């Protein structure tokens, strides 16, 4: 017995193999959603596809951004800036899509980038407060400031206020599920950290079908964060990086061109 304190074991960084599958699934379900919404005739009655498969895309994109921002990058803000570049490239063709409202809305890349920046900033704020480098009053002021910014920006981005919450809540839940100890109390506490995410995910859509697919997607990713990431096999055909970066603005540009040629933008 030496009497020396033993530091608690730090869990290894989780395996990110699942995100290779997630990339293909996210692009496929997003494209299905946009094709049924903007391109395919309403008479085909394929709206159910957008309300089911199409509801997988956004929570899956948010989950992958949160995962990489939490576990795989040393600079989440730089990662957020790269997402913003894609959003800027996609904004013009995104604005050409037919909409029920003429209100100016920033596309989902802005939602993802702002959500990641917010989540990373909150983690830094809480870490400084926990380490004693930031007083409670200043930490409270910082939190209140971010909530005010969230309230102001929520009306300007796709998926609104709830969409902005998704990545910070994913990061909260993933962190605690990955760090959970072996006791029942520790595991229940980690599971409790996932409840806010699931509540927000359930409120994001109006139909029961859409809610079910959104919540199920979140549950699947939380299961991965809790340890199932080790079981995921490698994807047979990794997505080319250029395709991953270009698909979002490019597919909107192609849809806009099709709508213009077919008279859908007139």
CA distance 44 to 24: 25
Quick check: 2 pLDDT over 60?
no
* pLDDT score for 266: 56
Contact 23, 67 (CB under 8 A): no
What are 29-34's contacts with CB under 8 Å, separation 24+?
29/53, 29/54, 29/55, 29/56, 29/57, 29/60, 30/54, 30/57, 30/58, 30/61, 30/248, 31/251, 33/57, 34/97, 34/251, 34/252, 34/255
pTM of the model: 0.92
pLDDT, mean of residues 261-266? 73
Query: Each residue of 221-252: pLDDT tens digit?
Result: 999 999 999 999 999 999 999 999 999 999 99
Quick check: 114 pLDDT over 60?
yes
151-155, 180-184, 237-241: lowest mean pLDDT where? 180-184
Quick check: 140 pLDDT over 70?
yes
pLDDT, mean of residues 144-172? 96
């Amino acid at each position: 017995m030496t009497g020396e304190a033993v530091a608690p074991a730090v869990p290894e960084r989780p395996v990110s193999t699942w995100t290779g599958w997630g990339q293909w699934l996210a692009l496929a379900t997003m494209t299905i959603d946009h094709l049924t919404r903007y391109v395919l005739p309403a008479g085909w009655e394929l709206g159910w596809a957008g309300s089911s498969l199409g509801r997988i895309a956004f929570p899956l994109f948010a989950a992958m951004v949160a995962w990489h921002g939490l576990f795989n990058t040393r600079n989440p803000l730089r990662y957020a800036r790269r997402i913003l570049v894609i959003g800027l490239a996609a904004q013009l063709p995104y604005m050409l899509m037919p909409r029920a409202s003429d209100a100016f809305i920033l596309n989902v890349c802005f939602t993802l980038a702002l959500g990641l920046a917010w989540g990373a900033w909150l983690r830094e704020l809480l870490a400084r407060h926990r380490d004693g480098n930031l007083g409670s009053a200043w930490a409270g002021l910082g939190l209140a400031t971010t909530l005010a910014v969230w309230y102001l920006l929520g009306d300007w981005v796709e998926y609104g206020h709830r969409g902005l919450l998704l990545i910070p809540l994913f990061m909260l839940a993933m962190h605690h599920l990955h760090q959970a100890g072996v006791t029942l109390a520790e595991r229940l506490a980690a599971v409790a950290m996932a409840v806010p995410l699931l509540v927000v995910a359930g409120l994001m859509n109006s139909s029961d079908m859409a809610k079910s697919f959104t919540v199920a997607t979140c549950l699947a990713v939380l299961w991965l964060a809790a340890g199932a990431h080790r079981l995921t096999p490698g994807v047979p055909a990794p997505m080319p990086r250029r395709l991953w970066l270009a698909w979002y603005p490019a597919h909107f540009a192609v849809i806009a061109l099709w709508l213009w040629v077919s008279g859908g933008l007139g």
